[in-house]
Amino acid sequence: MPRGGISTGRYFGTDGFRGRAGSQLTAEHAFRTGAFLGAYYSSLNGTKCRAVIGKDTRRSSYMLEYALVAGLTSSGADAYLMHVTTTPSVSFAARCGMFDCGIVISASHNPYYDNGIKLLNSKGEKLGDEVINLLENYLDDPSSYPVSRADGVAVGAAVDYVAGRNNYIAHLMTLVSLPLSGMKIGLDCANGAAYNIAGRVFRSLGAEVHCVGCRPDGFNVNDKVGSTHISKLRTLVKDRGLDIGFAFDGDGDRCICVDENGSVIDGDGILYILARFLSDENALSGNKIVATVMSNSGLVRSLGEQGIAVERCAVGDRFVYEKMCRCGAVLGGEQSGHIIVGKVENTGDGIVTALYVAQAMKSWGVRASAMTDGLAVFPQVCASVAVSDKMSAFSPEVDREKLRAEALLGGSGRVLVRPSGTEDVVRIMVEGEDENLCVRLCDRLVSAIRGGEECAE
């Protein structure tokens, strides 16, 4: 493997190192990751490395946490443990607590048997490709990087750092200018990392809070709850007559909304709401936002009619953030609910997103369903195809089918075929004015990918 430059992706994808805990992602992987980070940052800065660690509620998170701590301390680093907490809270701690790096143990929206390791730099941003590449080399060959073992007084310490989570909660409380008293809010915490934070924040701000997905047992994270399984929150909001509902994922960096009728407001709808809210507050720098290629073209048209431009980027919150930095936007996000409010954070944060949407609703004095008035949505048909080789997304047959689909859609539609950065699947999106045509074209692309897989076998 190459020794520098762009990450090869041997272990780390667009959202960290993710796989089945105990087989694809092991305690040995975690130990080596900790040992490398301790040695790398100690060498880089000439001082003892300080790393902050948070985890979600999966049973395997403890195994990986302890292994990371062992690796860090064995190379002389100090490990600060925030325990069960969200990805954005670790990002906040990393940049505000003078840490060299942040580590999150989570597989986000995946089932309990998967887990992951996400790495952040001292600014709370995703760790750069150059360092990731060195780490991947070390995971394959420990002789590729000089990691010495500490002994005696040089051995690192493990420090209880629940204070870091409390500091983050205090930070969240400062983001709200209008109290939420009188609002009835539903929360679905996916039995994940937000379960002990979100309800506490909204209740402290005066809201009446009703929860689902707030009883983790190590195995029920994302199990029919959370931002990818919205039905329980929809039922909760409708049955109890709530004003709005918010669903998070396993590590708390996504948010999907449900209005008072139980209708879903996805990431595009949230971007539409927050773009107009920030514009009203004279806080939308340059009157532009960032969205990915997956965002609906209706969002672009609807915001454009209100003088707000949308700049596109590749799928992944990392790419959203990088594009925001380049173009000076203070708001960006994904259809999946990763929303970055750049004036207060540099990563997706489900609770921050929910707080801003609640503020918009309170400020405008409208029902949740009215906040998306004026948002056009074009039919969009999506599919995910499980593959053994994600390069099948670029086979000649798939390329031909994609060109055919684009020709049939003419100038009124789009076709995207891309390998997932987090799973062994190829994702397809067909968007156009005729939904039936989009369905047929999507089905043909699915068949082309599956046919390519069979030929490869």
Query: Which residues are catalytic, by number?
Result: 108
Closest CA to 128 of 292, 4, 311: 4
- Any idea what DSSP says for residue 150? P
How many beta carbons lie within 10 A of that of residue 236, not counting itself?
A: 21
Q: Tokens for 413?
A: 């539609």
Q: What is the DSSP string of 348-394?
A: --HHHHHHHHHHHHHHHT--GGGGGTT-----EEEEEEE-S-GGGGG
- Please state, in angstroms and rounded to a whole number, the distance separating the CA atoms of residues 94 and 385: 37
Q: Tokens for 84?
A: 């069960």
Evaluate whether 291 touches 268 at the Cβ level (below 8 Å).
yes
Pairing of strands 16-20, 114-120: antiparallel
Residue count of the chain = 457
Cβ contacts of 121 within 8 Å, gap of 6 or more: 94, 101, 102, 127, 128
Q: If phi over 0 gives left and psi between -120 and 50 gives alpha, with beta otherwise, what is residue 9? A: left
Evaluate whether 42 touches 77 at the Cβ level (below 8 Å).
yes
How many beta carbons lie within 10 A of that of residue 168, not counting itself?
A: 24
- Please state, in angstroms and rounded to a whole number, the distance separating the CA atoms of residues 22 and 153: 32
Q: Tokens for 59?
A: 């049973």
Q: Tokens for 264?
A: 């879903």
The long-range contacts involving 167-173, CB below 8 angstroms and separated by at least 24 positions, are: 167/92, 167/93, 167/96, 167/97, 168/85, 168/88, 168/89, 168/92, 168/93, 168/197, 169/197, 169/200, 169/201, 171/92, 171/96, 172/197, 172/201, 172/351, 172/352, 172/355, 173/201, 173/204, 173/205
SS3 68: helix
- At CA 45, angle to CA 121 and CA 124, rounded to 5? 15
Element (H, E) at 244: strand 244-248
